[in-house]
Structure 1
C-alpha cells in the first residue's frame, strides 16, 4: 500500500507542475519527454531504497524463547473475513474490464471502413464516417467531408504526418497500459489532451 501511495503522490506532483508551468509553453518535444519521464520516474522511484543500517546482534536466548512461544501458542484463532482477497478480486475485475475496452477501442480504429490510398508515401484511409482527421500507428484517417476539391488539405496532412513520424501512438498505448494495470492512479487521467481528434475518438469508443 505504501508503494501505491508513493506512486500516486509522486506522479500527481509532477503532473501538477506540468499543468502549472509547462502546458502553455510551445515546447512540444520537451513537454512530451517531461510527461513520459514523469510517469516512468513516478513508478520507479518508490521501489528504489538506499539503506545503510548495521545488522543488529542476535540474542540467542531471546530467539529461542520467541520460537518456543510461537510453537506453544495453541489458542484457537477466530476466522475473519479476508479483505485482501476481496481487494485483489476487485482489482482483477476492473483491470480485465479496462483491458477489454482498450482492445475494443483499438479494433474500432483498425476496422474503420474507407478507401485506402497512398499519398506522398503515406497510408491514408478516406472514410465516409463523419470523424475529424487523426492518425494512429502508421495510418492517417480522414473523413471525405474534410477534403477540399477532392484534395487533402496540406496542413492536415503535415500535422498528422508529424504525429506518425514522432510515434505519438506509442505514447497513447503506453499511458493506456498504465491505466489498465494502475487505474487507481488519478494522475493518469489528466495526461490526455481532450482537444486531440484521436483522443476524442479513443475516448468515444473506450468510455
Structure 2
C-alpha cells in the first residue's frame, strides 16, 4: 500500500505540473479538438510517467578520508538523540496511518457519490417516455431520446438524450444537434476517465480543474457543430443566454 501511495503522490505532482503548462500555453487556443486530446494525454502521462524508473550507472572511486571534528560532534549528537528519534518515528508512523485512512475514506466517498448519481440517472432514463430521434433529425437510429414532461435541463449520456417536452417543442432541432454532437464525439467517455482520475486524486485541485476544462471544450465542440449544421448563430446565442439566465 505504501508503494501505491507514493505512486499516487508522484502522479498528482505530474498532473499538476502538466496542467499548469496547459493553462499557460494552450488554454487560450481555439483548436478545441487538439486541446481535448492534449488534456486526455495529460491524464495518460500522469498515470504512466511515475511508473518509469530511470537508473544511472556511474563509476565512483572509494576515497579514505579522516573524520573532521565537526563530523565527530555530529556523530555524538546523533547517538545521544537516538531514543528521541525512535519516539518521533512512532509518531510519524501514526500520522502516516491517519493520512492513509483519510485518503481511502475520500476514495470511498467519491465512488459512492458517483454510484448514487448513476442510479438517479438510470431512474431518470426509465421514468421518461422514449421517442425516436429520427422523427426530428434524419439518420439517428442509434440514439435513444428520453422526453420528460417536467422542466429539466437537456443533457446527453452515452447513447441517450434527455430533454423536456417544452424544450423539444420550442427549440428541439438546435438542442438535439448539440446533444448528438456530444454523443458522436464520445464526450461521456472523456468525463468517465476524468472521474476515475478524481477517485484517486480527489485531493488534487488539478484533477478537478482538468475535468472542468474538458467540459468546457465539449461544449465548444458541440456549439461549433450546431453552427456548421446551418443554425443561425445569433438565434443560437440567444438560446444559450435564455438557458443560462432565463428569458
TM-score over 0.5 for the pair: yes
Higher helix share: 2
Match of 1:90 in 2: 102
Q: How does 1:45-84 map to 2 (within 5 A)?
A: 45-53=49-57, 80-81=90-91, 82-84=94-96
Q: Quick one: distance in 2 between partners of 1:21 and 1:84?
A: 37
Q: Quick one: distance in 2 between partners of 1:148 and 1:25?
A: 36
Once the two structures are superposed, what CA deviation does each residue of 1:36-94 show, in whole Å capped at 9, x if it has no partner?
Answer: 1011112221221221325889xxxxxxxxxxxxxxxxx9x769342222222111111
Q: C-alpha root-mean-square deviation of aligned residues, in Å?
A: 2.8
Residue 147 of structure 1 aligns to a residue whose secondary structure is helix
Q: Quick one: distance in 1 between partners of 2:28 and 2:56?
A: 43
State the Cα distance separating 1:172 from its structure 2 match: 0.8
Match of 2:164 in 1: 143
1:167 has 2:177 as partner: no
1:118 has 2:132 as partner: yes
Q: TM-score, normalised by structure 2?
A: 0.62
Judged with a 3 Å threshold, the aligned counterparts in structure 2 of structure 1 residues 169 and 144 are, in CA distance, closer, same or farther, namely: same
Residue 53 of structure 2 aligns to a residue whose secondary structure is coil
Decide whether the 8 Å contact of 1:8 with 1:186 is kept in 2. Answer: no
**Correspondent of 2:151 among 130, 133, 136:** 130
Q: Quick one: distance in 2 between partners of 1:53 and 1:23?
A: 40
Q: Quick one: distance in 1 between partners of 2:158 and 2:118?
A: 10
Q: Quick one: distance in 1 between partners of 2:147 and 2:165?
A: 6
Q: Quick one: distance in 1 between partners of 2:150 and 2:113?
A: 21
Q: Quick one: distance in 1 between partners of 2:59 and 2:165?
A: 72
Q: TM-score, normalised by structure 1?
A: 0.73
Detail structure 1 runs of 4+ shifted over 3 Å in the superposition: 1-6, 54-57, 77-81, 193-197
Unaligned residue ranges in structure 2 (runs of 5+): 62-82, 135-140, 220-247
Give the number of equivalent residue pairs: 177
Q: Quick one: distance in 1 between partners of 2:157 and 2:199?
A: 19
**Correspondent of 1:19 among 17, 23, 36:** 23
Unaligned residue ranges in structure 1 (runs of 5+): 58-74, 198-207
Residue 117 of structure 1 aligns to a residue whose secondary structure is strand
Residue 80 of structure 1 aligns to a residue whose secondary structure is helix
Match of 1:32 in 2: 36
